[in-house]
């Protein structure tokens, strides 16, 4: 058993992302058929820079639905089950998560919260409990196997595993969902673990598709003020003024 380390890898993205978004935007405002425009885009008759400039200009108006045509898939490991319970609440997405039912967890890794890691007494208690949970899992699994549960023993023994148990997941979101995800999960008020993961994902996408993700991040950065209200604000941005909310 050991402490898990976060790793985020981009697996795939929609090919020809900029031409596709450009074509989708153009179809909204053009009487013509962008199917006829597509070969010209593929042949470079309209430069990527010109396409990106058009996309950026339209996005500034608040029209962002065409970016849904492009999506990205990430593989993530070194995250806790506590994180994935938050992640799957983002419903316009696809998930494929490592199963505790079919994967043996006898030597599971775990995520150690920094606040616990900083306090020797808390860390010692936390790591001792991880060892106890692992021992309980192995013993329960052995007992269940002895009582004819066979290869299904793990699906019952897993009930003693903690939320700190490490998990691996593949997640796919379209660009609009990703922008919303970053607005919420890059915020200073987001839980530390999912916030760390979100920033790693965003760093990758800022390089991958800057025209869409260059200004992505916490919602307050886009708005210029904190929309959380006095009770929940972190203080990084001023609260919304009456003029801003009018």
Catalytic residue numbers, as ranges: 185
Rounded distance between C-alpha atoms, residue 23 and residue 18, angstroms: 8
Residue 230 backbone zone (phi > 0: left; psi -120 to 50: alpha; other: beta): alpha
185 phi, psi to nearest 5 deg: -90, -15
Among 193, 168, 170, which Cα is nearest to 71's? Answer: 170
| Contact (Cβ atoms closer than 8 angstroms) between residue 21 and residue 70 | yes
- Distant-in-sequence, close-in-space partners of 124: CB < 8 Å, separation ≥ 6: none
| Residue that the structure tokens 């919304």 belong to | 240
| Contact (Cβ atoms closer than 8 angstroms) between residue 111 and residue 5 | no
Among 14, 16, 36, 11, which Cα is nearest to 26's? Answer: 36
Integer angstrom CA distances of residue 135 from 61, 132, 157: 57, 5, 11
| Residue that the structure tokens 């608040």 belong to | 62
């Amino acid at each position: 058993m050991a402490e898990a380390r976060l790793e985020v890898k981009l697996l795939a993205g929609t090919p020809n992302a900029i031409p596709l978004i450009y074509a989708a935007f153009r179809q909204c405002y053009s009487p013509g058929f962008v199917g006829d425009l597509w070969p010209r885009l593929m042949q470079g008759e309209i430069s990527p820079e010109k396409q990106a400039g058009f996309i950026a200009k339209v996005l500034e108006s608040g029209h962002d639905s065409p970016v849904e045509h492009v999506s990205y898939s990430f593989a993530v490991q070194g995250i806790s089950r506590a994180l994935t319970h938050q992640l799957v609440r983002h419903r316009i997405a696809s998930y494929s998560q490592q199963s505790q039912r079919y994967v043996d967890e006898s030597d599971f890794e775990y995520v150690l919260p920094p606040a616990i890691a900083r306090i020797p007494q808390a860390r010692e208690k936390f790591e001792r409990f991880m060892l106890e949970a692992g021992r309980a899992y192995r013993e329960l699994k052995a007992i269940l196997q002895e009582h004819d549960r066979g290869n299904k023993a793990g699906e019952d023994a897993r009930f003693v595993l903690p939320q700190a148990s490490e998990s691996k997941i593949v997640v796919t979101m379209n660009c609009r969902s990703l922008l919303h995800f970053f607005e919420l999960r890059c915020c200073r008020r987001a839980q530390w673990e999912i916030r760390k993961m979100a920033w790693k994902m965003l760093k990758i996408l800022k390089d991958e598709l800057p025209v869409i993700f260059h200004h992505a991040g916490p919602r307050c950065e886009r708005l210029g003020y904190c929309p959380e209200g006095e009770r929940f604000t972190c203080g990084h941005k001023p609260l919304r003024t009456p003029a801003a909310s009018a």
